[in-house]
Amino acid sequence: MMKVYLSGEIHTDWREQITQGAEDLDVTFSSPVTDHGASDDCGVAILGAEPNKYWHDHKGAMVNAIRTRKGIEDADVVVVRFGDKYKQWNAAFDAGYAAALGKSIIVLNPPEHQHALKEVHAAALAVAEEPQQVVEILRYVLTGNLPG
């Protein structure tokens, strides 16, 4: 069974497209918490309120890092999605962490981000523009079968 960690942008359904497209493959998926509010507030919800926004965010980042590190470390493949709407600094960090661990990385982003992500792309083994391309990469890796 291949373990795939789906990192990055949380505002579109790209994760669902990949997991649904790979239903017939021997793959398990994991990801960060994609409920934006829960992700932002997990630290203070669990460890107590913080009057300073910096410490509020810091607690959340530390708690989320437990899940993120575990997911990336356990993964065979890390897919990192950079979307259109927001700067995903966390996604870039995840890509760097995965690269440092020697993980196979697939980057998923629109073509207009090519220049901005050139260093991230250089660490990846594949750069896709559509979730279906990620599914086809996983299918090929697991079965040797090409699309069509």
pLDDT at residue 148, as a whole number: 84
pLDDT at residue 87, as a whole number: 74
Per-residue pLDDT of 78-117, as tens digits, reads: 999 999 877 788 999 999 999 999 999 999 999 999 999 9
Mean pLDDT lowest among 4-13, 31-40, 84-93: 84-93
Contact 30, 16 (CB under 8 A): no
Per-residue pLDDT of 36-70, as tens digits, reads: 999 999 999 999 999 999 999 999 999 999 999 99
Which pTM was predicted? 0.95
* pLDDT higher than threshold 80 for residue 121: yes
pLDDT at residue 84, as a whole number: 83
What b/e string do you get for 36-68 counting C-beta neighbours within 10 Å, with b at 16 or more?
A: eeebbbbbbeeeeeeeeeeebeebbeebbeeeb
